[in-house]
Structure 1
């Protein structure tokens, strides 16, 4: 059984009097501990698929099971609980709060979960240290580079020990060196912590950091590729 089991899901939006199918009867299964890249041109449906996987949107038809639970049948409050306790999110634009330092930004998910102050700070600092930013914990976002801000965002995503990380164009605002650093962190989290990672990207070289690439075209899965990584890559 996969961690993510999607069967025949479609998502239709209304544009005035016209119905637009963003995705059409997609069926995929993503194993626990996999690292998947969803790739496709603009308008292909990849973001819609990501939003459904992340419980930010519901399919118009079809079924979606997450860890065996039929999430497509849950209400908005139940979906919010799953997002908060089961998932971590990383976005292209970081979404850090400018008035909070790095440590305080990473603490935010734990505040929502009711984790007390001392334990909260301990876990947030450990998360920052795991992405190489322990010494930058008191720095404000404006004092950090783009790559460092994204690493803070990753620390925030993992501080709750999620089973699943969803990353939407995580390197889209970064230079090539910072992009490689971010993807190396994702690979390490996937390999060492067994966190399942699903990322959306339009960059082929970024997509190939994953174990599988799901190519989506015109709202449908065009093909699925398996990426073979060398032993040297795995040990980096």
Structure 2
């Protein structure tokens, strides 16, 4: 059984008389431990697809299963549970709370789980250590570089031990060297911890850190490219 399985997924947006078919009959299987990149020009449906995979949006038609559970008809509360338990998110903008230090930012998802303070602290420290920031836990975001802030965001995404890490342009706000460092962390998480990674990127060199690249065009999968790394 695939960890993520999308079958004939279509997403249509309507604005008055205007009908936009953002995704058209997408069929996609992602196995546990995969590292997948999604590429395509602006308007190709990349972010829409990632939002559906991340249970942030619902398909207009088709079915989506995550870990064997169909989600397209779940209510908002159940979808929130799925996101909190199974999925970690990393975005181009780091979305760190400026008044909280790195460790407190990382602990946030665990607060929503109702986890006790001591266990939250232990997990947050461990997550920060896994991205090389074990000594920076009490620094505010303003005291960290862009690359360090993104690493805090990654630590926050993995602190709940998700099975899937979704990344939307994770290196888009970073210089090339820092972007490579972030991709090295992604590879480590994928290879050593077995976290399944799905990233959207417009950068060819970043996409090639994945095992496969799904090229989207006009809401459809145009081709699938195997990457020899």
How far 1:228 moved relative to its partner? 1.2
Distance in 1, matches of 2:83 and 2:91, equals 15
After superposition, the C-alpha distances for 1:98-152 in whole angstroms (9 at most, x for unaligned) are 0000000000001111111111111100100000001010000000000000000
| Distance in 1 of aligned mates of 2:65 and 2:103 | 34
Deviation at residue 34 of structure 1 after TM alignment: 0.1
Matches of 2:165 and 2:139, distance apart in 1 = 25
Q: 1:97: which partner in 2?
A: 97
4+ residue runs of structure 1 moved beyond 2 angstroms? none
Structure 1: runs of 5 or more not aligned: 230-236
* Alignment map for 1:29-178 (pairs within 5 Å): 29-178=29-178
CA distance in 1, matches of 2:195, 2:216: 23
Given the two structures, how large is their TM-score scaled by the length of structure 1? 0.96
Q: Which runs of 5+ in 2 are unaligned?
A: none
Q: Which residue of 2 aligns with 1:233?
A: none
Q: CA deviation at 1:16?
A: 2.0
Once the two structures are superposed, residues 13-57 of structure 1 have per-residue CA deviations (whole angstroms, 9 ceiling, x without a partner) of 012211110010110101111000000011000100000000000
SS state of the match for residue 21, structure 1?
Answer: strand
Which residue of the partner structure matches residue 234 of structure 1?
Answer: none
Aligned residues: 229
- SS of the residue 2:96 aligns to: coil
- Normalised to the residue count of structure 2, the TM-score between the two structures is 0.99
Alpha-carbon distance in 1 for matches of 2:18, 2:130: 48
Report the equivalent of 1:191. Answer: 191
CA RMSD of aligned residues (A): 0.5
Aligned residue in 2 for 1:217: 217
Deviations 1:159-196 (CA, angstroms, capped at 9, x unpaired)? 00000000000000000111001000000000001000
Superposed displacement of residue 202, structure 1: 0.5
3-state SS, counterpart of residue 134 of structure 1: coil
